[in-house]
A and B are shown apart, each in its own frame.
Chain A
Amino acid sequence: MTKKILFGKPKGFFDVYDRRPGIKDSTHYCPGCGHGILHKLIAEAVVDLGMQDDTIFICPVGCSVFGYYYFDMASISVPHGRAPAVATGLVRANPDCHVISYQGDGDLGAIGFNEFIQAANRGENIAVFFVNNGVYGMTGGQLAPTTLPGQKTLTSPYGRSVETEGYPLKVSEMVAALDSPVYVERVALTSPKNIRAGRQALRKALTYMKEKKGFSMVEFLVGCPVNLKKSTKDTDEWIENSVIPYFPLKCFKDIAAERKPKQSAVGIYDKLKVKNSLLETEKIHPFDESKVPVPAIEGELRIKCAGFGGQGILSLGMLIAEAGHLQNLKASWLPSYGPEMRGGTANCSVVLSRESIGSPIVKESDVLIAMNQPSIDRFSADLSGEGLLIYDSVNIKFDNPLKRKAYAIDASLIAKDTIGDVRCANSVMLGAFCEIVAAIGEKSFINSIYNNFQGKEKVIEMNLRAFEEGRKSARKLMQS
């Protein structure tokens, strides 16, 4: 004779609650609590749908914080309101898992509404089960976003006033208005008929998640007899007579059939792919010291480039740094910051050295490249004793009071007339720097220009010409 069990504990629950300290054979929920019914529906469904192994059950802050005591599933207990963000992390990291984000009305509707609505709007492949009992249960019965008008709680002792607290938050209506979610339904766990409808809704949400159709939410109207100070029977009647009229039971949205299953990238680390993409690229320079001699710089060569924003000052600095780098020097580049940005100059610091570099901020400079008047006024006094100055004589009048080595280059004019674009003045200055400082081979500067303007052939051609003109001009000055 076969024995048929008509009623038994769903297989989604543990037989013995070993995750619970102390009592192992009963739950912590109060009599008549809605969580009990909903837990049972979930425990049945995950097993029936074959989802027990790959579902992670997220426990919120609230009475269901201990849900993991009972469900024979992997589980995480998360910060208040953040369940949909944690769920996002789980499914993005591992799109093959399923996540139930189980949340109460305070958790979802108040402190965590942004996490909830944003996860919904991204269409995360998760199922949110929203338990709406109109009150904060775990903290002892305070006003919830879904507390009904006139309903008394510990923090609305005279009844919820729509004047001061506004109307209850209609979560299902709000989330259904978004384009991304596929399924939104409100059910009530009161009468057997309503519970059957709730069971169907819950299974539908889980099925859509299994099919990777995206975001589903089911709102469950349930009771909290202890905090409502009502008997179980009165609680159900109150839900039917007072809550449902405000929060109508309805399927607000069910468009899963129109949506294709999500195909998310699986974040799995592939060592070879990383090596090929990051280390085997053109950006990586294979240094061969026998072919590329390291320039014989003594100590640090500290360079300041300064001019108007738009003159390509930062690129000029970067081209110098890159050229040094290409000859296996240590090179640092730092854009102007904070107070230095005041006073009409954009500037950057470049340091080149054979040894590791100290401060990347150039105050006292060995070389100053100045491209406008405020720059030379401001920085020429900071030149070191043997320091040298290269300046754009089109924009600058300079009478060299401290008698520094100074080179006047008609950079803007050369760029405009000879090259045809004033924006190339920085490359004219680069050519002059190459010739005057003579620490780094011209090949490295040329490669630096190629790297910097990758792919833009016309720009490269113009800047190379400008670079050559700058060298020519500097040679002339040095000969005279």
Chain B
Amino acid sequence: MSEKNKIMLRGNDAVIYGALLAGCDCFFGYPITPANEIAHSAAALFPMLGRVFLQAESEIAAINMVLGASSAGRRSITASSGLGISLKQEGVSYLATMDLPAVIVDIMRGGPGLGNLGPEQGDYNQVVKGGGHGNYRCIVLAPNSPQEMCTLTMKAFELADKYRTPVYVLADALIGQMIESVSLPEPVDKKPIPDWATAGTAKYRKNFITSIYLDYDDLEQVNIKLQDKYQTIKDNEQLCESYMTDDAETVIICYGIVSRIAKSAVNMLREKGCKAGLLRPMTLFPYPVDEIRRLEKKISSFLCIELSNGQMLDDVRLSMKSRIPLHFYSRMGGNLPTEQDIIKKYLSVQDKKND
């Protein structure tokens, strides 16, 4: 394992390191807890490196500034949390329809409504399923450490450009707030301004970027093209981490901070002689369907654990082809399960099986 350039970084700060290492030119954002440190880091580091930082007047303005900078062919990013993401959804729908790359970071807090500042995963549906109006999806990456806050943000820019689509980095308040050793990758090579941009020179004068198609057939074609893009993404970009699944009986499925607690719980269960495994989706769209279908052939049940009312559970169910039991455990409102909670649930699931 080569671990160079090690530094202790807060998850939220690591997002900005990742953005800068990925050649991001512009940050636009609006203050919101628990995502604030992302803007603080951007305010300090972007101008220092000759890049653009601007505190927008609203979440709506911020996402539209991203839309403008992305149209100019520059890598750009915005960050928010729950309710702020709700406000951005109109702009994200436009970005998706206009084939514009962008990176949006969501540090989920407790909801619905104003909620609270604790960790939750209640934004899953609004981020993973599209969220705004129309038939679009966004690629969604789910880091579970400051290290991945950095590297998955870098990957988000790469995927956004590759597929010309908005990409989310979806984390929770704890992954955003925790500090951990991070090994910083080398910065990427400079990218040329893409041919489709409205970059303000003669070469780009012919370009126009729009999302209005009055003719029904034209708009249907736009929709079909988007669905083709999403199919390619589903075929090629599924990412997940499988831990102790080779001989597992029951596999726990979870992401973000829950996956960190569950990993400890799996280790404790193994010490007790229980064959527990862990599947952690690192992409939520595309969902790691292939790995779920591979695992379901060899295990006896899944246990999905979330900080939501079962928003991801639907995707597990849709991914499964077999009829093995799928169990569910959740905490909401900013609460977290402890290792002991998870172990208890795991054991109760095993007992049911043995009944």
Contact = CB atoms under 8 A, between A and B. Distances in A.
A325 B6 contact: yes
Contacts of A266: 50
Contacts of A89: 26, 28, 64-72, 76
Contacts of B54: 88, 92
Contact of A74 (B60, B75, B208): B208
Interface string B259-270: 011011101000
B14 to A, nearest CB: 11
A332 B48 CA distance: 28
A331 B187 contact: no
A333 B5 CA distance: 19
Contact of A93 (B25, B58, B339): B25
B263 A284 contact: no
B64 A359 contact: no
Contacts of B45: 277-278
Interface in A90-133: 90-94, 96-98, 114-115, 118
Interface string A55-90: 110010000011010001111111100100111111
B52 A338 contact: no
30 contacts: A53-B200, A74-B198, A77-B212, A79-B90, A85-B60, A85-B68, A86-B65, A91-B68, A93-B73, A93-B74, A94-B200, A97-B72, A115-B64, A267-B25, A270-B190, A275-B187, A277-B49, A278-B20, A278-B45, A285-B7, A321-B8, A332-B178, A332-B181, A333-B8, A334-B179, A337-B118, A359-B263, A359-B265, A360-B178, A361-B336
A279 to B, nearest CB: 5
A301 B31 CA distance: 36
A265 B69 contact: no
B189 interface: yes
Interface in B15-34: 17, 20-21, 23-26, 28
Given A270-B50, A330-B181, A358 B264 contact: yes
A54 interface: yes
B334 interface: yes
Main secondary structure of the interface of A (DSSP, over half): mixed
A219 interface: no
A229 to B, nearest CB: 25
A82 B26 contact: no
A93 B69 contact: yes
Contacts of A277: 45, 48-49
B302 interface: no
Contacts of B90: 79
B8 to A, nearest CB: 5
A363 B5 CA distance: 31
A378 interface: no
A335 interface: yes
A-B interface, 4 closest residue pairs, ranked by CB to CB distance from nearest: A89-B68, A97-B200, A358-B264, A85-B64
B49 A284 contact: no
Interface string A331-354: 111110111000000000000000
B72 A93 contact: yes
Contacts of A329: 181
B68 A72 contact: no
Main secondary structure of the interface of B (DSSP, over half): mixed
A293 B255 CA distance: 34
B47 interface: yes
A284 B7 contact: yes
B209 interface: yes
B278 to A, nearest CB: 10
B34 to A, nearest CB: 9
Contacts of A287: 3, 6
A284 B74 contact: no
A277 B44 CA distance: 12
Interface of B: 3, 5-8, 17, 20-21, 23-26, 28, 45, 47-52, 54, 56-58, 60-62, 64-76, 90-91, 94, 116, 118-119, 173-174, 177-181, 184, 186-191, 198-202, 204-215, 218, 260-261, 263-265, 267, 334-336, 338-340
B49 A21 contact: no
Nearest to B278: A358
Contacts of B263: 358-359
Contacts of B68: 76, 85-93
Interface of A: 19, 21-22, 52-56, 59, 65-66, 68, 72-79, 82, 85-94, 96-98, 114-115, 118, 265-271, 273-275, 277-279, 283-285, 287, 318, 321-322, 325, 328-335, 337-339, 357-361, 363
Contacts of B261: 358-359, 361
Contacts of A78: 64, 67, 94
A269 B202 contact: no
A404 B267 CA distance: 25
Contact of B67 (A86, A284, A318): A86
Contact of B210 (A77, A338, A339): A77
Nearest to A83: B64
B5 A279 contact: yes
Contacts of A278: 17, 20-21, 45, 184, 187
A479 to B, nearest CB: 34
Max chain B CB contacts within 10 Å: which of A22, A98, A361?
A361
A339 B173 contact: no
Contacts of B47: 265
A76 B180 contact: no
Given A88-B65, A363-B339, A358 B178 contact: no
B67 A269 contact: no
Contacts of B119: 337
A325 B209 contact: no
A284 B71 contact: no
A290 to B, nearest CB: 15
Contacts of B339: 359, 363
A227 to B, nearest CB: 19
A77 B25 contact: no
A359 B264 contact: yes
Contacts of B52: 92-93, 265, 267
A53 B205 contact: yes
Contacts of A82: 60-61, 64, 67, 91
B76 A93 contact: yes
A97 to B, nearest CB: 3
Given A85-B67, A287-B6, 13 more contacts: A68-B208, A74-B199, A76-B67, A89-B26, A89-B64, A89-B70, A94-B200, A269-B23, A271-B23, A277-B48, A279-B184, A338-B116, A361-B338
